[in-house]
Amino acid sequence: MPDARRILDANLNRAREALRVMEDLARFVLSSGSLSGDLKAARHDLRRIAETAGLSAVELAAWRDTPGDVGTGVTTDAETQRVGLLDVAIAAGKRAGEALRVIEEVAKTLAVNAASARSEPTDPAALAKALRYRVYELERRLLLTMGTTDGRVRQWRLCVLITESQCAGRPWTDVAARALRGGAECLQLREKDLSDAELLRRARTLVDVCRVHGGVCIVNDRPDIALLSGADGVHLGQEDLGVADVRRLAGRGLIVGVSTANMTQALQAAADGADYCGCGPMFPSTTKAKPALSGPEYLRAYLADDRTARIPHLAISGISAANVATLAEAGCRGVAVSSSVCGAADPEAAAREIVSRLG
């Protein structure tokens, strides 16, 4: 069956090439030894499909006819355009899955290698099907993690958590605007006790304030409010919806941050595809009681691990102009604060001083 062999040869090559692209993205962009290792294993397992069908590399090459392949000159505009490395990952994942499906279907027309005496499955179509499902999961892991490196989220220097009760009697909208003028790049709406309708109204108002001053607007805890208000993102605690659930609701339409208190939580957030991590608590907080402190030591560990260092971070809890230099010495590049700006006599000056002392 020369036609079947030509199809298998072309799609084995296509799948192998796609998996190598995915492997190199995991290796060189994500520095993920586990993911790149799993992709490498999948690439090597491709060989078993042809071997199980009794097809050697020499036999497949003998049936190859690249000059006579009418498909080599057929292209689309989408094939020649990649906006960034995330697009490269998406294209490679789809290509690998499509190739494996073709291999699976065509392999059904071939006789199983009766000479094989292995204990594992010897049906090449079954092997291709199993590998296809493995690749779907590898694709999911790669895309979720690659999503944090596509340029949507840069490292903010200062995020101010806006809570009306922390604003010392001043209009919270005025405090928000002053914080942005003082150098805050991101504002997070953090109100725990409002009705849904009032929370949505405030979120929409804060979105407007951020648009005027060029800031990013994040809503605490509530992806539904973030979506309805037009906010840029949502920040999740450990007891809130997971990153994957928010992606099901919003896709890449929302920036997703996750609060983490240790490396176990940070590594899970990285694996889930969080766009940034809140790291803390760093110091005792006057806003919210903390049973235990993670401290600057946790921040150092976060920045020392390649799997998390590539993800933007915001150190949080008890941070002020008086202690932010301690975090800067640990390598901190961004902080989240509340009362030290919202409750200051001059929120603009307070924000500017924190940014200055962060270095």
- Return the active site residues: 190, 259, 288
Query: Residues of 230-244 as b/e, b for ≥16 C-beta within 10 angstroms?
Result: ebbbbbbeeebbbbe
> Token pair 């949507």 is at which residue?
152
Distance CA 125, CA 293 (A): 54
> Residue 89: what are its φ and ψ, rounded to 5°?
-65, -45
Q: How far apart are CA 275 and CA 56, in angstroms?
A: 45
Q: State the amino acid at position 325 in one-letter form.
A: A
Three-state DSSP class for 131?
Answer: helix
The amino acid that residue 3 corresponds to is: D
For the record, the structure tokens of 224 come out as 């539904």
Q: Which residues of 80-101 are buried (b: 16+ CB within 10 A; e: fewer)?
A: eeeeebbebbebbbebbbebbe
Q: How far is CA 164 from CA 199, 211, 228, 338, 351, in A?
A: 12, 20, 21, 10, 17
Q: Where does the chain show beta strands of DSSP type E?
A: 158-162, 186-189, 216-220, 233-236, 255-260, 276-279, 313-316, 335-337
